[in-house]
Amino acid sequence: MKAEKRIVITVLMLMTVVVVVEAQDSSRAFGEVSLAANNAGMYVLGGWALANMAAGAYGWAALEGEKKYFSQMNLFWNVVNLSIAGFALYSNYNADLLSLGDGEIMTKHLKTERLFLINSGLDVAYMGAGILMRHLGTGSERRGDLLKGYGNAVILQGGFLLVFDIVMYFIFRDIRPASIELTSALQQGTLHAGIRIAF
């Protein structure tokens, strides 16, 4: 009888170890998917920034009036976008998933997901600021071209970022683990292994 108990206990312990190891492997795999999605988004943002900087530099040098200021603001704005994309890519490529716990991986993913959602609200504010600049430009003889050009650029950049941030938010939400219990366990920094039977 004692031998049977030992066998049962040993089998249960081995099953627990296997489940925990599989959960850790899947957590790291999830972390890799999360980083890959973030990297893809940063390449899109960086590509947009480089294209706008090139077009902006040309327009600033070659155009006049409202279009000159439109190009100028696009150049300035996308220096910031390129810096954000570059810093994020640098951080992601230097991230060591093996040193992160399951909870840290999920926390990092959820922070990034929330950041995209918060940024989409800021993007609407940018577009509103651009509309306001355009409105102020119509009543200004001295700075009309500058305000209209800058306003149009801010509307364009805010619109792009709004689409970008919403798409990235939904991508991050969709790759999040489907199990709410797994998500909450990872958020707390613990992972509970178990067997669930669905009827």
Q: List, for residues 62-73, the tens digit of each pLDDT value.
A: 999 999 999 999
What pLDDT shows up at residue 127? 98
- Across the chain, what does the average pLDDT equal? 83
Structural domain includes residue 13:
no
- Tens-digit pLDDT profile for residues 72-121: 999 999 999 999 999 999 999 998 887 888 788 889 999 999 999 999 99
Give the total number of structural domains in the chain: 1
Q: Which residues constitute the domain of residue 112?
A: 27-187
Structural domain includes residue 161:
yes
Judge whether 178 and 196 are in contact, CB under 8 Å: no
- Tens-digit pLDDT profile for residues 131-174: 999 999 998 889 999 999 999 999 999 999 999 999 999 999 99
Judge whether 188 and 104 are in contact, CB under 8 Å: no
Structural domain includes residue 131:
yes
Structural domain includes residue 11:
no
Structural domain includes residue 166:
yes
Structural domain includes residue 194:
no
What pLDDT shows up at residue 164? 98
Q: How far apart are alpha carbons 52 and 80 in whole angstroms?
A: 12
How close are the terminal C-alpha atoms of the chain, in Å?
34
Structural domain includes residue 63:
yes
Structure tokens, 132: 């306001």
Q: What number of H helices and E strands is found in the chain?
A: 5, 0
Structural domain includes residue 5:
no
Q: Which residue matches tokens 């925990």?
A: 20
